[in-house]
Structure 1
Amino acid sequence: MTSASPTRRDRLAVAAEVADALALRHPVVALESTLLSHGLPPGRNLAVARRLERAVRDAGAVPATIAVLDGRAMIGLTPAELDRVCDPDAGLAKLSLRDVGPALGLGRSGATTVAGTAALADAVGIGVFATGGLGGVHLPAPGEPGTWDVSADLGVLARTPILVVCSGVKSVLDIPATLEVLETHSVPVLGYRTDHFPAFYRRSSGLPVPLRVDDPGQAAAAVAAHRALAGSGVVLANPIPPEAELDAALHDRLLTEGMALLAERGVRGSAVTPVLLEHFHTASGGASLNANEELVVANARLAAEVAVRGAAMSERVSERFDTAPPGNAADERGEEGA
């Protein structure tokens, strides 16, 4: 007699607090785990993890940090599970969306990237996600004419109706090409209180954003309207706080050194970002770590504010339809036009 195959419920474990919030249509914000497991040094990663969740709570939403542990997608982590994700000896793999299914099926553990986190958040009905930087189109290595190295983040956003709040993309990427791919896939890019697309450690990449919003309510309204028309996600580009921005000369020197290091080592694909971040962290004397922490906390706070406004808008719409008299919009419009 063969055992039954695991069901989707067996593989998706939603924390009670998160499940209750979703059932009541209260605001929830998804948070990724790759930043914690692979992007920050031990000790600091756990402090940042706690700070992110606190920022979401302080803004009125419920945090849902996401990871895969022992073959189960954990949507919201206990303190012990958060400790495990941040433990350098835990050996968590880096899981993009292509890796999540196999990890679940094989009983593995891993930290989820933007792509993996967005897909798992959407699977349980979470519509807002905060991260540091979005993946994008990689620049070709020196001497190469072009590249096919495009982050899975962009493909997932093309078909997943989730709002991603981020500080743009890292300056090591081909930012014009990244914006072009987002446009091709009908993913709106909104600049939060800015007319320029951010470049992670720097507030501006020098490139314009197609649309600008100046408060969480505007962002929530834009996202709601887009979801009524399309199945793709939305990017809300939130520049790093001015006081945390890296000095321009320091940033440019680190970027030049980092690109040379990548070429020297022949680094490609998913290994590029960790190597580059490590160089920034060590060569900047910790300045880039401070910048990274402040921008991701600011994004978590903004994501929660937008989620709160979005939940309030949804509640008002629900109340309107619950109390509306019989009839439909088409009938009413026809009477007005008669």
Structure 2
Amino acid sequence: MIPVTHSPAVAAALKAGRPVVALESTIITHGMPWPHNVETARRVEAAVRAEGAEPATIAVLQGVIHAGLEDDQLEAMGAASGFLKLSRADLGYAVARRMNGSTTVAATMIAADRAGIRVFATGGIGGVHRGAEKTYDISADLHELARTPVCVVCAGAKAILDLPKTLETLETLGVPVVGFGTDEFPAFWSRSSGLPAPLRLDEPADIAALIRARQDLRLDGGVLVGNPIPPGDEIAAGEINPAIAAAIAEADALGVSGKALTPFLLSRMLELTEGRSLVANIALVENNARLAARIAAAL
């Protein structure tokens, strides 16, 4: 028996055939400082509900995969320390050891699929890290997109990554990458990366049709939707790139690597941009949640 428990609200929505959107929990424990993490989680859930869908924030609590959290659980996660950052490799470990863990994109996709949820909203996916030709640091998110049938709505890959190599890897893995209303792949805090989006669709119903077509063709994996941050909330690439370069140089000098690297870089970006990166992050996650709810409704 798969150890997944649905919150009453998520269970009721799935039983009634209403749209449900999965949300990750790493943003709560590793992505944002207290109290912005809990405030953002609540705002994102509210954005999903405003579009007529039910949010299902996913986390592992004492070894049980939860699809949907109560407000007191969100609050406790936000203030807690020691939560594991879970991906495919260690999700089973946390379940077996009855541990607490927050879910990355890869682990959230797995849990959403097991819970019967087909659409997932996040901020930005992981990808190929800069210098990967030396470190081989490539996020498990990319391979998960190639194998697990969940649509992931994001604002592109995190801009701290090597975006050209990330897109090349997604192409090699056969993952459809869709620019929503744009011909460019978005760059997380910035609307433009200068890189073409392989595919473009302008309506949630068209994305739903793509998902159905892939199911009918028995194609493995999910669909990645790149949804640009709203124009008024972005930090232009020319402005954000020097801060990214400085944060990466610091991480290299300190020897930060592995699972600690992305939280370190995001924390430094918060300081280097004097909080603007956090404001943009919150805006883009909410924007993605709204689109994911519309796609879920179209399905």
Q: 2-side partners of 1:259 and 1:45: how far apart?
A: 23
CA separation of 1:227 and 1:61: change in aligned 2, threshold 3 A: same
Match of 2:54 in 1: 62
The reply on whether 1:262 has 2:254 as its aligned counterpart is no
What residue number does 2:280 align with?
A: 291
- Percent identical pairs in the alignment equals 49
Moved more, 160-169 or 223-232: 223-232
* C-alpha displacement of 1:299: 0.3
AA of the residue aligned to 2:51 = A
Match of 2:12 in 1: 20
The answer to whether the aligner puts 1:221 opposite 2:190 as a matched pair is: no
**Counterpart in 1 of 2:66?**
74
Equivalent position to 1:250, from 213, 235, 239 = 239
**Residues of 2 paired with 1:281 and 1:125: CA distance?**
35
CA shift, 1:286, in A, is 0.7
Q: CA deviation at 1:179?
A: 1.3
- C-alpha offsets along residues 8-53 of structure 1, whole Å, 9 cap, x if unaligned? 2xx2111122112222221100000001111111011111111011
Per the alignment, residue 161 of structure 2 pairs with 173
- Structure 2 unaligned segments of length 5 or more: list them: none
Deviations 1:217-238 (A, max 9, x none): 1111112112222121100000
AA matched with 2:93: P
When normalised by structure 2's length, the TM-score is 0.96
Q: Is the 8 A contact 2:129 2:138 kept in 1?
A: yes
- Determine whether 1:203 maps to 2:191: yes
- Give the number of aligned pairs: 298
Q: Which amino acid aligns with 1:264?
A: A
For residue 222 of structure 2, the aligned residue among 233, 238, 244 is 233
Partner in structure 2 of residue 193 of structure 1: 181
- Alignment match of 1:281 (pick from 270, 273, 282): 270
After the TM superposition, which parts of structure 1 deviate over 6 Å for at least 4 consecutive aligned residues?
none
Counterpart in the other structure of 2:123: 132
Q: Is the 8 A contact 1:250 1:284 kept in 2?
A: no
- The CA distance in 1 between the partners of 2:225 and 2:215, in whole Å, is 14
Q: What is the Cα deviation at residue 250 of structure 1? A: 2.9
Q: What's 1:333 paired with? A: none
Provide the C-alpha distance between the structure 1 equivalents of 2:172 and 2:161, rounded to a whole number of angstroms: 18
Secondary structure, aligned partner of 1:297: helix
- Secondary structure of 1:146 counterpart: helix
CA distance in 1, matches of 2:91, 2:32: 22
| 1:35 and 2:24 are equivalent in the alignment | no
What is aligned with 2:108?
117
1:271 Cα shift?
Answer: 1.7
Judging changes above 3 Å, is the alpha-carbon distance between structure 1 residues 90 and 139 closer, same or farther for their aligned structure 2 residues? closer
Any idea what the Cα deviations from partners look like across 1:96-135, whole Å, max 9, x if unmatched? 1211111111110011110111100001110000000011
Is the 1:133–1:169 Cα contact (8 Å) retained in structure 2? Answer: yes
Distance 1:69 1:206 in 2: 41
Q: CA RMSD in A?
A: 1.3
Per-residue Cα deviation, 1:142-169 (whole angstroms, up to 9, x for no partner): xxx5342110111111110100000111
Query: Which digits, 9 at most, give the CA deviation of each residue in 1:240-267, with x for residues without a partner?
Result: 1111111444302201211211111122
Secondary structure in structure 2 of the residue aligned to 1:202 = coil
SS of structure 1 residue aligned to 2:109:
helix
Q: What is the distance in 2 between the residues matched to 1:249 and 1:167?
A: 17
Which residues of 2 match residues 308-327 of structure 1 at below 5 A?
308-310=297-299
Distance 1:165 1:222 in 2: 14
Query: Aligned partners of 1:260, 1:101: CA distance in 2, in Å?
Result: 34
The alpha-carbon deviation at position 58 of structure 1 amounts to 0.5
CA contact (8 A) 1:84 1:90 kept: no
The answer for the alignment partner of 2:151 in structure 1 is: 163
